[in-house]
Amino acid sequence: MKIGIVGIGHSKFGRRDDVTVQELAFEPFVEALNDSGLQREEIDATIIGASPVYMTQRSIAGPVTEYLGLNPQPVWLTEAACSSSASALRTAYALIKSKMHDTVLVLGVQKMLENPTSEILKIMGRTGDVQWEAPYGTTFANYYAMYANAHMTKYGTTSEQLAKVAVKNHFYGSKNSKAMFQKEITVDKVLESRIISSPLHLYDCCANADGSAALIVSNEEISKKISDTPIWVEGLGAATAPFSLLTRAELSTLSSAVEASRSAYTQAKIDPTNIDVAEVHDCFTIAEIMAYEDLGFTERGKGGEFVENTYIGGKVPINVDGGLKAKGHPVGATGCSQVVGIVQQLRGEAGQCQVDGAEKGLTHNVGGHGQYCLVHVFSR
């Protein structure tokens, strides 16, 4: 039995002081419901991807479900740091495959900017080991700076190559009305911005954001009945890596991404050369370069040279909706946001950022600093 995505929705990402978390969740839900043509009563269950530690409202699944009018259907929360809503999609797939439910709403939602930046940095730092790492001041930027330094030392990757990732993603973000940042930047602007954690500059780092995205997922029979263009979930991969960097064998790669992609490719019966368009987790520019290699799009150590191949018309167009770098990174919503981008591409609905003839797409969603990774392959 195939599993299809029949409805998608996406809020504006950014500082969303204009809405409560329930109202923020409502925006993509209504879009996805209208997109699918389904009624609320036809949704059997809801799975919410979020990291509740950032939000004032606790037990977020309950108030959101009530606001969306989905009682008494069951709801629960999945949490895997930045890969929470990708984990929610994996859970929905398993529930439908097992025939426990026929149609499931997957909703990623996050209000991060209720907190000051200093508090967000502390919370993110505690995603690392709180005994041996966080007490020494590790932030997310510190972790990815270590990856960048390792990659530069081992392979000769340069700050200019990192900057080109930011330039490319902001170029496409400028065309995305839902993105937090809609202005192009230059390599010089990246390199002249202040250092956050050497060698990472300000423009090498994504921004915290509020946002939400929704998917309606159904079994094969329902998908074919209600949609002329269901997008099929063809391959799912998930893996973990040691929680502490002290026990990682290598810092220039994420072993969780390598393992998750292998699983997804195997289930989908394809290899990296079959992917027409991809969304990868570019929380920092070095993360995107590592993803090129971990996903098998280029040879190990060649990621820095591969950026030019990730524009539309290149070998593998990547993050052509702006990625986390331009869209912003509301951690619980990011996984669903990536899937929305791929579904639009495979339907041919991506507007001026459309990859012609895209038939197979991939999402790569990393949780924490690589402790979790989920890779999904989709087909038209």
Please identify every residue annotated as catalytic: 82, 329
Residue 103 zone, left/alpha/beta (φ > 0; ψ -120 to 50; rest): beta
* Cα distances (Å, whole numbers) of residue 2 to 46, 238, 265: 19, 19, 16
Give the integer Cα–Cα distance in Å for 332 and 338. Answer: 12
Q: Which residues of 122-152 are buried (b: 16+ CB within 10 A; e: fewer)?
A: ebbbebbbeeebbeeebbbbbbbbbbbbbbb
Give the integer Cα–Cα distance in Å for 181 and 15. Answer: 11
Is residue 291 within 8 Å of residue 261, measured between CB atoms?
no
3-state SS, residue 197: strand
Is residue 162 within 8 Å of residue 199, measured between CB atoms?
yes
Is residue 325 within 8 Å of residue 169, measured between CB atoms?
yes
At residue 18, φ and ψ (nearest 5 deg) are -80, -10
Quick one: tokens of 97?
């495959």
Rg over alpha carbons for the chain, rounded to the nearest Å, is 19
3-state SS, residue 71: coil
Helices H, strands E: what count in the chain?
Answer: 13, 11
3-state SS, residue 63: helix
Give the integer Cα–Cα distance in Å for 279 and 248. Answer: 25
Chain length of the chain: 380
* Cα distances (Å, whole numbers) of residue 68 to 30, 50, 75, 275, 315: 9, 16, 12, 35, 41
Q: Which residues of 81-98 are buried (b: 16+ CB within 10 A; e: fewer)?
A: bbbbbbbbbbbbbebbee
